[in-house]
Amino acid sequence: MTKKEIFSKIAFYVILATLFLICATTVVLLAAGYKIDFKNRKITQTGIIIVKTLDKDYQIYIDEKFIEKEEAVVRNLTPGFYEVQIKKEGYQTFTESFYLNPGEAKIINNIVLFLESPIVEEFSEQIEIPFEELADTGNLLMSDRELFVNNSFLTRFESRIQDASWYPNDRFVGITVDNRFSILDIDTLNEFYLFEKKSNTPVIFINSGKTVIFESEGNTFSAQIR
C-alpha cells in the first residue's frame, strides 16, 4: 500500500469520526433541549409549549401553523414571541401570546371554549332569584370603568362596568359593559362576547359553567354558553 493510499485511508476515517462526533453531539444537545445554530455559530437553549384543555375536537395553532388536535407538546422551540390559538367549530377562538424564555416549559391549560352563538331562553315562569347573594363576587371590585381582582388593578374599560362575577374556575370573570355580557380571562385579557344583558345584577353560573342565569329588563333568562 502506497503512502498516498495510507493517507487517504487515514483521512477517510478521520472525516468519518468527525461526522460521527458532530452527529452524536447534535443528538445529545437536542435531547438536552439545545439547538445548534450553524449559521451564527452558537448553541441556544430551546423551550417547550404544552397545551392542555378539557374540551375535545379542537385544533391547536402556533403562529398560525396547525399543530394537531387536542393535547400538544411542541419541543425544541427557539426563544421568542409565540401566539397559540385554540379553535373549535362553532366556538370562539382562544388566543394566548407570550415570550418563551430559554429552557422554559410554557404550559397552557385551564382553557375553556365558549360558543359563538349561545342559546338564550327566557324562563317560562318568572321567579325571584337572589342574584346578588348567589353570584360569586368575592375579591372583585368595580370602580366605575376599572376592575380590581384580589386587591390588584386588572384592566380598564371605555365605559362603566355594570356587574362582575367569577366563573367557576377562578380564572375567568363574567362582566357586563355597555349591556354586553362577556367572559374575561384575567390571565391573558382575552374577552369573549356572549349576549346582550340590560341589568346591573351579576350573573349566576351553573352546570360547571356551561350555563348562566341572568336578569335583563326585569325578566330572567338562561343561556348555554359552552
Whether 39 is in a domain gets the answer no
Q: Are 144 and 218 in the same domain?
A: yes
Task: Give yes or no: residues 185 and 205 share one domain.
Answer: yes
**φ and ψ at residue 131, rounded to 5 degrees:** -55, -45
pTM, 2 dp: 0.76
The residue among 99, 96, 89 whose CA lies nearest residue 56 is: 89
**Percentage of the chain exceeding pLDDT 70:** 78
* Together in a domain, 195 and 136: yes
- Based on the domain organization, do 220 and 194 belong to the same domain? yes
Considering just the CA atoms, what is the radius of gyration of the chain in Å?
27
State how far the Cα of 87 lies from the Cα of 57, in Å rounded to an integer: 9
Same domain, 147 and 219: yes
Could you give the 3-state DSSP secondary structure of residue 189?
Answer: coil
Whether the Cβ atoms of residue 171 and residue 154 lie closer than 8 Å to each other: no
Q: Are residues 105 and 133 in the same domain?
A: no
Same domain, 14 and 50: no
pLDDT (tens digit, 9 = 90+) per residue, 123-135? 877 778 899 999 9
Q: Which residue has the higher pLDDT, 37 or 72?
A: 72
Res 1: pLDDT? 58
Is residue 181 exposed (0-12), middle (13-18) or buried (19+ Cβ within 10 Å)?
buried
Give the pLDDT confidence score for residue 212 in this predicted structure: 96
Asked if residue 116 lies in contact with residue 92, where contact means CB atoms within 8 angstroms, the answer is: yes
Q: Give a yes or no: residue 123 inside a domain.
A: yes
The domain of 213 spans 119-224
